[in-house]
A and B are shown apart, each in its own frame.
With several copies, the nearest count.
Chain A
Amino acid sequence: MSTQTAAPKSKVQVETVTIRFVGDSGDGMQLTGTEFTKANALAGNDLATFPDYPAEIRAPAGSLAGVSGYQVHFGAREIHTPGDAPDVLVAMNPAALKTNLADLRTGGMLIVNGGAFTESNLEKAGYKSNPLHDAALKQNYKIFDVDMNKLTEAALAGSGLSSKEIARCKNYFALGLMYWLYSRPMEAQLQSIAKKFAKKPEIAEANQKVFKAGYAYGDTTEVFFQRYDVPASKLAPGTYRNITGNAAVALGFATVAKTTGRQVFLGSYPITPATEILQEMSHFKEHGVVTFQAEDEIAGIGSAIGASFAGALGCTTTSGPGLALKSEMLGLAVIAELPLVLVDVQRGGPSTGMPTKTEQSDLLIALYGRHGEAPLPVLAAQSPVDCFYAAIEAMKIAVKWMTPVILLTDGYLGNGSEPFLIPDPAKLPKIDVKYATAPNFEGKYMPYLRNDKLVRPWAIPGTAGLEHRIGGLEKDSMSGMVSYDGMNHERMVKTRAQKIRNVVEDVPDVEPFGAASGDVLLLSWGGTFGSVRGAAEELVAKGKKVGHAHLRWLNPLPKNLGKVLARYEKILVPEVNDGQLATYVRSKFPGVDPLQYNHIHGKPLKISELAGRVLELL
Chain B
Amino acid sequence: MSTNQAVNTALPVYTKKDFESGVDPRWCPGCGDYSIINQIQKTMPTVGVARENIVFVSGIGCSSRFPYYMNNYGMHTLHGRAPAFASGIKVSRPELMVWVMTGDGDALAIGGNHFIHAMRRNLDLKLVMFNNRIYGLTKGQVSPTSELGKKTKSTPHGSPDYPFNPPALALGSGATFVARTIDVEGAHMGGVLKAAAEHKGSVFVEVFQNCPVFNDGAYTFLTDKAVKADMLLRMEHGKPLLYGKDGKKGIRLDAQTAQLEAVVVGENGVTEKDVLVHDAKRDDPTIAFMLANLAEKHGFPTPIGVFRDVRKPTADELTWEMIEKAKSQKGDVDLGKFLAGGDTWTIK
Chain A residues within CB distance 8 Å of chain B: 38, 41-42, 44, 56-61, 65, 232, 235-243, 251, 254-255, 257-259, 261-263, 265, 267, 269-272, 275, 278-279, 282-283, 285-288, 290-299, 302-312, 314, 321, 328-329, 332, 336, 351-352, 422-425, 435, 460-473, 481-482
Partner of B96, one of A237, A461, A470: A461
Is the C-beta of B285 less than 8 angstroms from some C-beta in chain A? no
- Given A44-B347, A461-B96, A463-B52, A307 contacting B91 (CB threshold 8 A): yes
- Given A57-B28, A286-B330, A292-B87, A422 contacting B340 (CB threshold 8 A): yes
CB <8 Å contact, A241 and B154: no
CB <8 Å contact, A425 and B339: yes
CB <8 Å contact, A241 and B344: yes
* Minimum CB–CB distance for A226 against chain B, Å: 27
Determine, out of B105-113, B250-258, B274-282, B301-309, the stretch whose residues face the partner at the interface.
B105-113
- Given A296-B109, A321-B79, A352 contacting B60 (CB threshold 8 A): yes
Partner of B345, one of A239, A255, A303: A239
CB <8 Å contact, A464 and B8: yes
Partner of A261, one of B1, B336, B348: B1
Interface membership of chain B positions 1-20, coded 1 if the CB is closer than 8 angstroms to chain A and 0 otherwise: 11111111000000000000
Most-contacted residue by chain A among B87, B332, B348 (CB, 10 A): B87
CB <8 Å contact, B117 and A299: yes
Partner of B326, one of A285, A307, A352, A470: A285
Of chain B, the residue at the smallest CB distance from A304 is B88
Determine, out of B139-147, B175-183, B220-228, B241-249, the stretch whose residues face the partner at the interface.
B139-147
Residues of A within 8 A of B51 (CB): 464, 467
**Total contacts A-B at CB 8 Å:** 286
CB <8 Å contact, A293 and B155: yes
> Complex: how many Å from CA A299 to CA B92?
14
CB <8 Å contact, B339 and A422: yes
CB <8 Å contact, A282 and B154: yes
CB <8 Å contact, B340 and A298: no
Residues of B within 8 A of A237 (CB): 346-348
CB <8 Å contact, B342 and A303: no
26 contacts between A and B (CB under 8 A): A38-B345, A58-B29, A237-B348, A240-B346, A265-B88, A269-B109, A270-B141, A275-B154, A286-B327, A296-B109, A302-B81, A302-B114, A306-B57, A306-B89, A309-B85, A310-B88, A314-B88, A321-B78, A461-B53, A461-B54, A462-B53, A462-B95, A467-B74, A471-B67, A471-B76, A471-B77
Of chain A, the residue at the smallest CB distance from B83 is A299
Partner of A298, one of B68, B73, B81, B348: B81
Residues of B within 8 A of A473 (CB): 76
Most-contacted residue by chain B among A239, A423, A473 (CB, 10 A): A239
Of chain A, the residue at the smallest CB distance from B342 is A241
Residues of B within 8 A of A240 (CB): 344-347
CB <8 Å contact, B60 and A462: no
CB <8 Å contact, A462 and B96: yes
> Complex: how many Å from CA A463 to CA B77?
21
CB <8 Å contact, A461 and B73: yes
Residues of A within 8 A of B89 (CB): 306-307, 309-310, 461
CB <8 Å contact, A294 and B344: no
Partner of A60, one of B8, B21, B29, B55: B29
CB <8 Å contact, B347 and A236: yes
Residues of A within 8 A of B70 (CB): 469
- Given A57-B28, A278-B154, A271 contacting B338 (CB threshold 8 A): no
CB <8 Å contact, A465 and B141: no
Residues of A within 8 A of B54 (CB): 461
Is the C-beta of B137 less than 8 angstroms from some C-beta in chain A? yes
What are the 10 A-B residue pairs with the smallest beta carbon separation, nearest first? A471-B76, A306-B88, A302-B84, A303-B88, A288-B1, A311-B3, A306-B85, A469-B74, A462-B5, A307-B92
Interface membership of chain B positions 206-232, coded 1 if the CB is closer than 8 angstroms to chain A and 0 otherwise: 000000010000000000000000000
Of chain B, the residue at the smallest CB distance from A264 is B1
Most-contacted residue by chain B among A265, A466, A471 (CB, 10 A): A471
Residues of A within 8 A of B331 (CB): 286
Residues of A within 8 A of B327 (CB): 285-286
> Complex: how many Å from CA A305 to CA B85?
6
Is the C-beta of B71 less than 8 angstroms from some C-beta in chain A? yes
> Complex: how many Å from CA A61 to CA B26?
11
Is the C-beta of B319 less than 8 angstroms from some C-beta in chain A? yes
CB <8 Å contact, B55 and A292: no
Is the C-beta of B343 less than 8 angstroms from some C-beta in chain A? yes
Residues of B within 8 A of A286 (CB): 323, 326-327, 329-333
Residues of B within 8 A of A468 (CB): 73-74
Of chain A, the residue at the smallest CB distance from B80 is A296
CB <8 Å contact, B338 and A287: yes
Residues of B within 8 A of A44 (CB): 347
Residues of A within 8 A of B157 (CB): 282, 285
Interface membership of chain B positions 310-344, coded 1 if the CB is closer than 8 angstroms to chain A and 0 otherwise: 00000000010011001101111111101111111
CB <8 Å contact, B87 and A464: no
Residues of A within 8 A of B319 (CB): 290, 292
- Given A293-B155, A351-B78, A435-B5, A57 contacting B85 (CB threshold 8 A): no
Is the C-beta of B239 less than 8 angstroms from some C-beta in chain A? no
With A302-B87, A462-B4 given, can you name 9 additional A-B contacts, CB distance below 8 Å?
Answer: A41-B345, A236-B347, A240-B347, A295-B112, A299-B87, A302-B88, A308-B88, A464-B50, A469-B21
